[in-house]
């Protein structure tokens, strides 16, 4: 497995709209495995293929129950989810707010309001179609990652002032490194 480089905002690749996956082959399986490796290495809970410069509709998520970490179990309990061609088919009127972060916007967080529940269709690595409703953190995370596939960042959901402050800091950090 390999660890991909994660694109950092304001990289224009993060605004790319991903193309659908036509089917599962060895390349798609390798991409998914490498995306998980990359996400775990970066200590993230979700990653969209566009974040690693792959313009395909692939998302990996693992909310990783960190509450189980202790001396006997130093690693979080993993519960990986693979979404090929995920699509929101319903969102609730009720909203929830999470302090969101992003591997492509490192060390910056903001309160983002999104639908509290959503329904998503997708295919898995066996090309089986799924249709499921999500709530709480999983609903926020899948909406965040689907946004990435559509060239949208979580900063697009916050005030222009906050967004501009974050982007200026990212540009300054990029120039310094």
Q: Which residues are catalytic?
A: 145
- Secondary structure of residue 152 in the 3-state scheme: coil
- Per residue, what are the HEC states of the chain? CCCCCCCCCCCHHHHCCCECCCCCCHHHHHHHHHHHHHHHHCCCCEEEHHHHCCCECEEEECCCEHHHCCCCCCCCECCCEEEEEEEEEEECCCEEEEEEEECCEEEEEEEEEEECEEEEEEECCCCCEEEEEEEHHHHHHHHHHHHHHCCCCHHHHCCHHHHHHHHHHHHHHHHHC
Q: Map residue 131 onto helix, strand or coil.
A: strand
């Amino acid at each position: 497995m390999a660890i991909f480089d994660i694109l950092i905002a304001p990289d224009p690749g993060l605004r790319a709209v991903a193309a659908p996956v036509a089917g599962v082959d060895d390349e798609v399986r390798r991409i998914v495995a490498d995306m998980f490796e990359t996400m775990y290495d970066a200590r993230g809970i979700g990653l969209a293929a566009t974040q690693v410069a792959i313009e395909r509709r692939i998302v990996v998520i693992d909310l990783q129950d960190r509450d189980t970490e202790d001396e006997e179990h130093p690693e979080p309990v993993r519960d990986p989810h693979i979404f090929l061609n995920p699509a929101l088919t319903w969102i609730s009127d009720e909203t929830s707010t999470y302090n969101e972060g992003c591997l492509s916007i490192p060390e910056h967080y903001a309160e983002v309001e999104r639908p509290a529940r959503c329904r998503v269709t997708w295919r898995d690595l066996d090309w089986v179609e799924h249709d499921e409703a999500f709530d709480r953190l999983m609903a926020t995370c899948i909406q965040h990652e689907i946004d990435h596939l559509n060239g949208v960042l979580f900063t697009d959901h916050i005030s222009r002032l906050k967004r501009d402050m974050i982007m200026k800091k990212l540009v300054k950090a990029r120039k310094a490194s």
